[in-house]
Amino acid sequence: MLWIVLALLLFIIQIGFVIIFEYQRPNKAVVWLIVLFIFPVIGFVLYLFVAKEYLCPPALSRTDNGHWDRLKDELIERCKQRVQKDLHGKTLVQDDNLHALLKKIPVAPIAACNETAVFVEGKKAFEAMMDAIAASEHHIHVEFYIIRDDRLGIRFEQLLIRKAQEGVKVRLIYDGIGSRRLGKAYLERLRNAGVETGCFFPLLTSFFNKRLNYRNHRKIVVVDGKTGFFGGLNIGDEYLGEGPKFGYWRDTHFSIKGDAVLWVQYTFLTDWHLVTGQIITDPVYYPIQESRGNELVQIVKSGPDETILELIFSLIVSAKRRIFIETPYFIPDPGILLALKTAISRGVDVRIIIPAVPDKNLVYCATLSYVQELLQAGGRFYGYQKGFIHAKLIISDDLALSGSANMDIRSFCNQFEINAVFFDGKVVDRLVQDFYRDLGVSEEILQSNFEKRSTLQKMQIIFARLLSPLF
| Active-site residue (options: 217, 253, 257, 273) | 217
Q: Residue 217 gets which letter from DSSP?
A: -
The SS3 assignment for 67 reads helix
Distance CA 248, CA 256 (A): 25
| Active-site residue (options: 397, 398, 424, 434) | 397
Any catalytic annotation for residue 397? Answer: yes
Beta bridge partners of 135: none
On whether the CB atoms of residues 313 and 434 are closer than 8 A, the answer is no
Any catalytic annotation for residue 99? Answer: no
- Which residues are CB-neighbours of 121 under 8 A, at least 6 positions away? 241, 248, 249, 250, 251
| Active-site residue (options: 86, 149, 175, 224) | 224
| Active-site residue (options: 219, 253, 257, 301) | 219
| Active-site residue (options: 392, 408, 434, 438) | 392
Q: How far is CA 405 from the centre of its chain?
A: 2
Any catalytic annotation for residue 426? Answer: no
Q: How far is CA 460 from the centre of its chain?
A: 27
User: Of all residues in the chain, what percent are helix, strand and coil, respectively (each to 5)?
Assistant: 50, 20, 30
Any catalytic annotation for residue 320? Answer: no
Closest by Cα among 162, 140, 312, 302 to 218: 302
Any catalytic annotation for residue 392? Answer: yes
| Active-site residue (options: 86, 390, 434, 438) | 390
Give the DSSP letter string of 256-288.
EESTHHHHHHHHHHHHHHHHH------GGGSPP
Q: Name the helix (H) or strand (E) containing 440.
A: helix 425-440
Upstream peptide bond of 377 is cis (omega within 30 degrees of 0): no
Any catalytic annotation for residue 217? Answer: yes
Exposure of 248 by Cβ count < 10 A (0-12 exposed, 13-18 middle, 19+ buried)?
middle
Catalytic residues: 217, 219, 224, 390, 392, 397
